[in-house]
Structure 1
Amino acid sequence: MYVSARERKLLERLLVGGREITVGELAEELNVSTRTIHRDLQGLESVLRHYGLELEKKAGVGIRLVGEEKQKQALAAELLHLSHREYTPEERQLMILIALLEAGEPVKLVSLANDLNVTVATVSLDLDKLEQTLKAYGLSLIRKRGYGVELAGSESAKRRLISELLFRHVNEHEFLELMKETIQKRSDDPLDTVAEKLLGLVDRKKLAIIEKQIEQVKEKLPFTMADSSYIAFVVHLALAIERIKRGEAIHFDPHDLRTLQAAKEFAIAEMLAESLERAFGINIPKEEIGYMTMHLMGAKWRSRQGMMMEEPSLVVGMKAQQLIRFVSRELGVDLSTDRTLYEDLVVHLKPALYRLEHGMGVANPLLDQIRKDYPELFAVVANGTKQLFGYIPVPEEEIGYLVLHFAAALMREKKGWRALVICSSGLGTAKILATRLKRAIPDITVMEQASVFELKKKDLRAYDLVISTVPLPEEYGPHVIVSPMLTEEEARAIRQRLERKTAVEKRRENESIARRNRSMLATMKAVRRISETIIHLLDGFLLEMVTCRSIHELLMNACRRLERNGVLVDAKVVIEELERRESLGGLGVPGTKLALYHARSFSVLRPSLTMYRLDEPQTVAGMDGEPMEVNTVVLLLGPADADEEMLSVLSQVSTLLVKDEQSTATLARGGENEVYSLVSSHLEQFFDHYWTTTKE
């Protein structure tokens, strides 16, 4: 059997699609005209008949491949092992890139041409196109007559390129199966497909061992990593271990390493490094632990709980509020009260800014679709990021993810059915899919989003529907596969599935009520803890005019008073913790006259909020690293073992400092009654929001 590269891509697309697809969609995906698609489909009919398959065509709906699943699998297997395989130009360029990454030394153009069944001139043109791609990674090509071609650049840049190539061209299900060691392919079997070639760049057995070591420290991570970041981290570790075994050194700036050692992620990276050292019998240097820390700090997360008490998050929170206000003004829609949007942006921006500042980059396979679906919103967010983050160029890939958060906020609707959404690209993509589902199917509820890697911890029986952007293993049962942008055909398929579930709706509803009854006591306890925290903060609140020679003297006096009032056990211990936090970074809020000193300590018995207005301004380091004058010190304290509910209240107080210009002005200049009214009103809104969402 012979088929062209385009015909092969067309067959592969029809084989993976369970729904109808229009000729126009196929033409757009393959970048050809609809006439070409019609001609190719006509030419493929004899191939399909040979396998007992046919095309089912529905006017106004589209086409799909019909036939026995066994026959479809046979055709798919044949496509994988075609003799004289022909690649598309994009696949051919990727194969060349993989060959260069594998070789690590000059490769002859004639050798590449023979492997790909093309001319040397074609390979040379492909290399011209690759050079621009490589430039974005800090890599280049060395090309000399009689020498061949070689990939030049740092080891870390090559690792980042391999990680992103894997993420873009190998779906998460394939990667998950790989790490479970269920891909039954001998090491001496030829690797024909692009995905197989990419997977060949990393040692399969190493991946499985590494995943086991990560599992052991997962509970120490502050949040669950998105699939894309998880895959990048696993691949990074596999490549790092290979490099360490070869005795290759890696450079890391000593000053940057000292800075990273103060981060909580460094301790987690050290723990993981010790585990990997035992597993592989190697010594992992501090420099490599530094790179592991950067991966953890730059990872995209799938949760937002507990981030707001960290100093860097407050800086990011201010930027998030500014971006929300900018987009609201441009669109004429007030999004400033959307807590979910604000918290999601902080969770996304914190690692995103770290990635950008350290040149780590991020892949966004949905970028073209996002630009197409939200052109106006994309332009507004791009303009906003340029104004707010002018000191750091924000690439379109990051802007695309930010657009998803804003699009999700603009499309929130009421809830209905219980559904679990499996999305591999992180929190933003999961949010946009969830809100599109609720818009297309008003009765659906997206109770939770998860990644493929989290599925084994989920009880799927608790959901009416499981919707995934990637194929799931059979062990997880029935699920609907959709694209992240959710087409109308996919929405229709979901509606039909929900209609079939109508007969058991009452039973499901009763089970849901029973679950809610069992959890009611836990919910009420959580509400009580939140209300108690708010009461402690408001009962103990004071705004005092003080005369002092230094911030240190102010903190000493303030903590001693709190000790006398029974809020603290040992003022000295708390002061040491406050000074330690200050040593990690400035505490002044840029653009204001406020400084937030906060700490959690076992010497703190109950949460406390007090404020001190200085008779003379004091100079402190701002959160942006620049010196600034402050006239008001906000002292926010909590117990070291504070539960999630208490932390959520404390975080709300900290966000008040960056909420808007009017709030910061009141905090910096208002009287005690005025400030108390602002704080109590803000906490009341938070409590109302929490109570409303727990009832839903």
Structure 2
Amino acid sequence: MKKNTPTSKTRKFLILKRLLNGEHLSYQHLADDYFVSRSSIANDIVYVKRLLAEDNTPLEFDNSGSYLKCKEIKRQDIIKRVISKLNQEKNSDAKKLFLDEELYENVKSSLTGVENACSLRISDLYIENVVLIITILIQRGRKGHHIESFNMKDLLKIQSLKNYPIVSQLLQSVGEENSYQFNDNELRYLSYIILANGINFLMKDELIPEVINKRVNKLVKDVGNGLSRNFANDQQLIKDLSLHIYQMLLRLKTHTTVINPILVDIKISYPKTYGVVWYFLNNFALENNLQISDDEIGFITIHFQAALERKKTNKKILFVCPHGIGTSSLALAQLKRILPTNAIIKTAAVIDLADRNLKDTDLIVSTEPLPQMKIPVVKISPLLTKNDLKNVMDKYIDTTILDDQKEEHDKLNLSQKVVNLLKHHISFFKDEKLPTIIDQLLDFNDWDSDEQKNCYLNTVNNRESLQSTYLGNGIAIPHGDPKMITNSCIAVAILNRPLNWGNNKTDIICLLMIADQDKKTIEPFMSLIMKGIKDKEWFIKKMTEFE
């Protein structure tokens, strides 16, 4: 029997599966089952708790051992996230514990078949999400694990309910083709899920409630202030966000989310934008009594990053030739063909170059040798060769990357305003309890009264009860209602050992006390935080500069 003992890599997922199936598991019981020590099981449980923390789900304990207390909808959501994680890790053995791949393919085939027959249009990302949800529900249902009652009132709030019969028919067809009969609860729940996952004819822009549009406009304004950008006239951003957030709100009603397969890449590639969006979406969540996952924050970050890319200044390129016209017209035409359409190309004669203001020029392309210049120069032949074209594009890309790196560097060179908010507000703590730490951080601010301080603390606690402000790598960013702040301040606690923070552990606590009028300080500070998540030692060293 011992030869069939699972590896440590698989064992932790077996334990998670048993917990999801409702078992109460003691360390000793698990150690006996898998022929390992209790310390090995303890390590497995730590890993399982980290997985569960991603869905804000605690692991409970009683006299019979560890168990999960959450509802079936949450259990299925955890399974969905675990499958996504195992896909990324290419751990097919563990994935088989949670997903019947044959059933998945059958459900996908059934759903896409009905989708085509009914002339529906669903994005690939959303259809994969719906297929996975249906597959997990059927798997669990076959083993007697059914979702709890789903409130029909929630479904009635959806626009275009006239299409409910089509969706119901779609689901019944999928069920019949996979030998499963959805009960009324499951039909209502899955109908809601499909309506919340982007079927175009059910989600026309004009049907998005006005209250959603108002919330989106406020979010766009807040994030714009935080990023020092004005997005008020970006109708594409507003339209895309309104649709996404409307669908997100529908998903949140059922406590489900679309797993974001590129979340880690988003955090790495766009840390500044992610950090600012995270902060203001936290405020959005508090104002609307929501719990928004990191996956959704990542998707919304992409919308804002796309808007930032659209606002980037066009590159100005100066094409230099002997006389500014004529013999080099062919080269100029070829340059225009290979460079981006938003690149601004002007021409100049060599003789005029010395007197020309080059302040706004990003790149010079010249058919003639030029003296040493501060601006990047690419020397080409009048008849551009393949190698010339490659050199021009390489240099153009280099200038774009350098601009992005310069922008990030500038953000880390904090403005005096941010320095003043942090200066002398850094404390190192040894073994103090969390309430004491938070109270000392609050004391760094210049409050108008104890009542104001206590009211702000209440809003901080209310936010944490709704959604943890843990951001990653042991860093938490608690903050409350900015309307209750008169004087802005940022206070940082660095702990000698981690303390529990929701379902995670933190050893760095950054208490943000930022008034509405100081929203623009969020971007540079969140840039620090996101860099600190990647390199905690660097962050601690940086904070010592403000002691």
TM-score (norm 1): 0.39
Kindly indicate whether structure 1 or structure 2 has the higher relative contact order, using CA contacts under 8 Å at least 6 residues apart.
2
